[in-house]
């Protein structure tokens, strides 16, 4: 699932590649992922022009000169490409936009779980849960004090809190493992058992992990100046590395699968609280 590092890298690439360029053609190939009628996508996007591309939570936002936003949440298996129009289409390519004088912007989704919206710039609240969800992790207004105050509203296990978009947006299963390892906090500890200092350490770890990971994933996505996103996480220190040595202490990394979610952590670096 793309999380902040992947989406930040894609955002930066598309801002440089697309801003000021006009859409020549629009193919809505698999209507299942569209929350705006596919016909509207096909008929109204050609002739519109992109602006700089921001990100919000797990959404990439493509502003258009017409005053609209093409908002895409790739969910678990959504992938982006910006390739030569002659390049072979990936299986389950849902959206293909021909860019005047250039490449093709494509969105494919193996499980068709993603969501694509076309909404007015000033009506983002039309996207479900847009206003109910919490701030983006990288929002400058989300400082340590606000993070701690928001966290105290939740009582579940701390990993579940980190991945809850109502608390904060942009963190998923993979990077929550990395954040908790960085902060040396056990993923199964209830939030209520953590001190204010624990929560502050977690905040600092979250920002540090995102700053560390983003440039690592960016280089792998862009080949010969063309974006062709495949998920690369071979740099991770604990996530999905069960049975391997912890890079901090050398103990064996534990891996637990529950509810189709893998949690990886070091029992030595991230101990349980005393009973």
Give me the helix-helix angle, 144-151 and 196-221, nearest 10°. 110
Interacting residues of 83 by C-beta distance below 8 A, sequence separation 6+: 103, 104, 106, 226, 227, 228
Q: What whole-number distance in Å separates Cα of residue 39 and Cα of residue 128?
A: 21
pLDDT tier, 224 (very low <50, low <70, confident <90, very high otherwise):
low
Domains of the chain: 4-126 (3.20.190.10), 144-221+231-266 (1.10.8.50)
pLDDT tier, 209 (very low <50, low <70, confident <90, very high otherwise):
very high
pLDDT tens-digit profile of 62-84? 999 999 999 999 998 999 999 99
CA–centroid distance for 20 within its chain = 25
The mean pLDDT value for 40-65 works out to 97
Nearest residue to 209 via CA among 233, 244, 241, 242 = 233
Share of the chain above pLDDT 90, in %: 88
pLDDT tens-digit profile of 176-203? 999 999 999 999 999 999 999 999 999 9
pLDDT of residue 162 exceeding 60, the answer is yes
Strand 23-28 and strand 93-99: the pairing is antiparallel
Share of the chain above pLDDT 70, in %: 99
pLDDT at position 117 is 98
* Dihedral over Cα of 132, 49, 67, 13: its sign: positive
């Amino acid at each position: 699932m793309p999380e902040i590092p992947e989406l930040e890298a894609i955002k930066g690439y598309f801002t440089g590649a697309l801003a000021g360029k006009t859409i020549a053609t629009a193919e809505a190939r698999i209507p299942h992922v569209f929350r705006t009628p596919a016909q509207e996508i096909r008929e109204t996007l050609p002739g519109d022009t992109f602006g700089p591309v921001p990100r919000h939570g797990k959404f990439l936002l493509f502003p258009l000169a017409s005053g609209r936003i093409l908002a895409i949440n790739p969910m678990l298996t959504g992938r982006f490409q910006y390739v030569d129009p002659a390049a072979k289409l990936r299986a389950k390519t849902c959206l293909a936009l021909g860019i005047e004088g250039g490449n093709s912007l494509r969105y494919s989704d193996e499980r068709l779980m993603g969501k694509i919206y076309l909404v007015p710039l000033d009506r983002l609240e039309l996207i479900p849960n847009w206003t109910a969800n919490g701030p983006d992790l990288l929002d400058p207004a989300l400082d340590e004090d606000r993070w701690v105050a928001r966290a105290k509203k939740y009582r579940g296990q701390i990993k579940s809190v980190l991945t809850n978009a109502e608390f904060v947006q942009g963190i998923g299963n993979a990077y929550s493992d990395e954040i908790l390892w960085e902060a040396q906090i056990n993923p199964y500890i209830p939030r209520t058992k953590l001190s204010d200092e624990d929560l502050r350490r977690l905040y600092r770890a979250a920002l540090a992990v995102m700053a560390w990971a983003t440039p690592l994933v960016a280089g792998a996505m862009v080949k010969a100046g063309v974006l062709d996103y495949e998920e690369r996480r071979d740099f991770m220190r604990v996530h999905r590395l069960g049975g391997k040595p912890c890079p901090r202490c050398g103990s064996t990394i534990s891996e637990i699968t529950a509810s189709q979610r893998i949690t990886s952590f070091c029992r030595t670096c991230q101990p349980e609280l005393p009973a």
